[in-house]
Chains A and B, each alone.
Chain A
Amino acid sequence: MEQQSVQPAHVHAPPEGFIRKYVFSLDHKMIGKQYYGLALTAVFTGMVLSWLMRFHLVWPNAKIPGLDIISKAGAPGGVMTPEYYLSLLTMHGTLMVFFVLTNAPFAGFGNFFLPIQIGAEDMAFPRFNMMSFWVTFVSFVVLISAFFIPDGPPISGWTAYAPLSAVGKDAGPGLGWGQNLWAISISLFCVGQLLGSLNFIATTLDLRAKGMTLMRMPICTWAWFITSCIGLLAFAVLLPACLLLILDRVAGTSFFIPSGLVISDRLQNHAGGSPLLWQHLFWFFGHPEVYIAILPAVGIVSHVLINSIRKPLLSARVIIYSMLSIGFLSWMVWGHHMFISGMNPFSSLLFSFPTLTITIPATIITLIWLGSLYGANLQINSASLFALGFVSMFVSGGISGFFLAQPSIDVYLHATYFVVGHFHMVMGVAAIFGIFAGTYFWFPKMSGRMMNETLGALHFWVTLIGTYCIFMPFHYLGMAGNVRRYSSFVNDFMAPLMPVHKFITIAALITGAAQFIFLYNLIHSRFWGKPAPENPWNGTSLEWSVPSPPPWNNFGGNHPVVYHDPYQYGVKGSKGDYVMQVSPETVEGEKT
């Protein structure tokens, strides 16, 4: 661990021309921005889909102007059909989980900052890196194209449970070519992620600057490293699962389809497959995927918080070890998505216990953050607001997992809005708060310009209060037994819950609208923001030792040497209360 790698002569020529600079770029920073831009496109698309769904749930007969132009069959006269609702639901989940929560915090920020934070000039495999983005881009285009085919997008949810997803269009609209496009898109996405993960691992292990031991890497670098290890194993399972699904659909195989199914009055010509096999393969990927979304955010938030509290965390090592244990445990818990699936009930206990155990490292991380706030000199800005909001959201969303981890309680809450509330808070909103914290913090470095802090704060207040107004009531609905994935609530017991749904819809419309403040701030600041200095937040890690934005080869051809742990805050340094990693000055009390 203490051995330091010396950076090999790893350079590619400076990019020339528009195409090499902005399109097929080999530069990890441009690729990071491309991933971020793709995630931004996906998140706004996904958000508009959620608006349409929420609107339909509470005003099922109201016309949505323009919707019939996008899909005549899905919304005749502007009123959504039940199957179109399910299409939007499927696309919302797929876009958000894959193209937002995986792309932005991991591939986006990771690509931009990991090489700089370890003192490398680029990723280990720049061509693979370019390929990983463009494969992901094609995957996005393939997915979105499902909106424009006559059959429409699939209706089987982002989990694509077989046999609904496997038997073809007999089972319903969108399950013909729509589902094929979905499976092709996700297969491509897996390829992109595998290339990216390999690249992250090789870069972290091989390209660290002199003095940059593993334990001197910033927490977010560690988070990206752990995430790429998880991603390498998880996407390597989802890829073959999707290929088998495609074979079941187009080549007449029966991996996931048993015999004797009668669909649309037709006896299906399949035999011997198991729907549970799909669930096992999917969740073997699906649960680690939750950590692929949240760990980079944990890393980013830790990185931002330390800078904002102007002192080191109680222990950065403990956070790193906790992230490692979460990563390890994430492989033993996939069955907690399947308590009611018909899996052997004994295995439910086996999956329940490690799931509950994950609470321990997660609590340790939270308590380290809280304990580190004690005695801090807390600086409030847009980045730290979102980081603190993340801590609050991580607690709220994490705690509801304690219910769902227990099979006996899951029997009641499974497939209710309680689950929707849980995963939106901890995986969706918390991770997005991490992305926002990262954006406000690193935007000056990425673009060379500052973001508007007033707009940032306004964005934060509406988003914090708004997301609580949306997702906390989801838990209440679930406790009353409100079932998820319903396009309309026709059941007697759900009718009294409609006022809660209305409240949520209004909150979602307002909170969603506030995201345009962020978009405006992002675009406006990119062109007309105040020029950013090299180190606007008095940070210590390597990204703050290079110009904003960094030159194409990051360190201008120099090889940085690292002298310190990443977070020398609250000390007496030549520049103030901090000492940068690359500064040779000695720090009182530092162990070397």
Chain B
Amino acid sequence: MGKFLAVVLTIIALVSAYPIITHKYVQPEDISTHGHAIDEQMSETMAEAGFAFLGAQLLLAFFIWKFSGRKDGAKVTHLPGGAKLVVATAFIFVGSEVLALGILGQKAWAAIYFTAPKPDALQVQSQAGQFAFYFRYPGADGKFGMIHPDKIDEGNQNFFGLDPANDVDARDDIVTAELAIPANREVQLLLHAKDVGHAFYVRELRIQQDYVPGLDLSIHFTATKAGRYEIVCTQLCGLGHYNMKAYLNVLSQEDFDKWMKQKASEQ
């Protein structure tokens, strides 16, 4: 039965690796300026993890094949080098991987999170609430009106709780249900949670960030390819969580200007 286990483990290891090696299930095409570094980090990790996975599984299978079902009273022997060899191997190989991925690989993270958005980045606010995303553009004055939670009234489409009667900044704010942005221009997205925790996830942008109630966060990115992409909520937010989605519409600057004008006229 030992030999059979060895064969089964070998098959499991190879079959498990097959979809990875053939790139059957991979992340979609990257449409951001920062995503390339993330994808590269992922490929490097995959190569090292894949090597370790196959190496360990096949070695396990080989030893089971070789050292099971021996005659009764077969003399046991020990691995030359013993525990010292094993510990040294782990420290050298895994230690160098840890250093390589852990230190050098942080570049990708730093590039996104340790940099400030450019001063001319397009500011858009996004509000997440059970179970919809809304987006707000500051309008011609470039200023967002204040959010007044007590004035939020979905029936009257006042999703952000704006008070245009008393707040000049709020009067030209443009509120939409989809996130339209121009390609090749940096966008600073300000995340505001209306009720409970939510998250903003666009696979193609390689961005996932929580909306935290009471803590307004900001992320910035540049999309490079026009198209329509799904925004989904990835933080468990209640019964409609699975259905909480919106669209990211990446447009050319010209189309974006047109879209903005049209939305402004609809307000």
Contacts and interface: CB of A to CB of B under 8 A. Distances in A.
Interface of A: 81-83, 86, 155-157, 161, 163-164, 167, 171-173, 257-265, 267, 273-276, 309-311, 314-315, 318, 340-342, 345-346, 348-349, 352-353, 356-357, 359-360, 363-364, 366-368, 370-380, 385, 388, 391-392, 395-396, 399-400, 402-403, 406-409, 411-412, 414-416, 457, 461, 464-465, 468, 472, 476-477, 479-481, 483-493, 500, 569-570, 577
A171 B130 contact: yes
Contacts of A311: 76, 78
Given A360-B98, A408-B105, A479 B26 contact: yes
A213 to B, nearest CB: 20
A360 B28 CA distance: 32
Contact of B25 (A267, A353, A391, A480): A480
Interface stretch (B135-143, B169-177, B209-217, B256-264): B209-217
A488 B109 CA distance: 32
B87 A318 contact: yes
Given A262-B194, A388-B5, 13 more contacts: A86-B238, A163-B195, A261-B194, A340-B209, A346-B114, A353-B103, A367-B89, A370-B63, A377-B75, A377-B76, A409-B38, A479-B26, A481-B27
A537 B112 CA distance: 57
Contact of A171 (B5, B24, B238): B238
B91 A360 contact: yes
Given A161-B235, A340-B199, A340-B209, A345 B26 contact: no
B76 to A, nearest CB: 4
B211 to A, nearest CB: 8
Q: Which 9 A-B pairs have the closest CB atoms?
A: A258-B214, A375-B77, A315-B83, A345-B113, A415-B234, A83-B239, A476-B25, A408-B108, A486-B242
B203 interface: yes
A266 to B, nearest CB: 10
B212 A489 contact: no
B109 A345 contact: yes
A395 B103 CA distance: 23
A406 B101 contact: yes
B106 A368 contact: no
Contact of B215 (A258, A379, A480): A258
A380 B2 contact: yes
16 contacts: A82-B240, A86-B238, A155-B238, A262-B195, A275-B197, A340-B208, A341-B210, A342-B215, A364-B87, A364-B90, A372-B79, A377-B74, A378-B2, A378-B64, A408-B41, A414-B234
A373 B60 contact: yes
B134 interface: no
A486 B106 CA distance: 31
B253 interface: no
Contacts of A399: 49, 52-53
B245 A408 contact: no
B42 A403 contact: yes
B210 A342 contact: yes
Contact of A263 (B20, B195, B240): B195
A260 B25 CA distance: 42
A60 B103 CA distance: 45
Given A368-B86, A385-B5, A472 B67 contact: no
Contact of B114 (A274, A345, A464): A345
Contacts of B91: 360
B207 interface: yes
Contacts of B238: 83, 86, 155, 164, 171-172
Interface of B: 1-2, 5, 8-9, 12, 16, 19-20, 24-28, 37-38, 41-42, 45-46, 48-49, 52-53, 56-57, 59-60, 63-64, 67-70, 73-79, 82-83, 85-87, 89-91, 93-95, 97-98, 101-103, 105-106, 108-109, 112-114, 129-130, 147, 149-150, 152-154, 161, 194-197, 199, 201, 203, 206-210, 212-215, 217, 230, 232, 234-243, 245
Nearest to B35: A412
A171 B195 contact: yes
A392 B86 contact: no
Contacts of A483: 201, 232, 234
Contacts of B214: 257-261, 273-275
Contacts of A265: 152-154
Contacts of B195: 163, 171, 261-263
Given A276-B215, A364-B86, A377-B74, A163 B197 contact: yes
B34 to A, nearest CB: 9
B94 A276 contact: no
Contacts of B89: 367
B197 A356 contact: no
B222 to A, nearest CB: 16
B242 A487 contact: yes
Contacts of A273: 214
A311 B77 CA distance: 8
A348 B1 CA distance: 46
A401 to B, nearest CB: 9
B217 A490 contact: no
Contacts of A403: 42, 45-46, 49
A169 to B, nearest CB: 11
Contacts of A500: 25
Nearest to A175: B238
Contacts of B64: 373, 378, 388
A86 B76 CA distance: 53
A378 B9 contact: no
Contacts of A385: 1, 5
Contacts of B57: 392, 395-396
B109 A380 contact: no
Contact of A409 (B41, B114, B240): B41
Contact of A374 (B46, B79, B232, B242): B79
Nearest to A260: B149
A340 B27 contact: no
Contacts of A485: 236, 241-242
Given A262-B149, A491-B232, A377 B212 contact: no
Given A472-B16, A477-B25, A314 B82 contact: yes
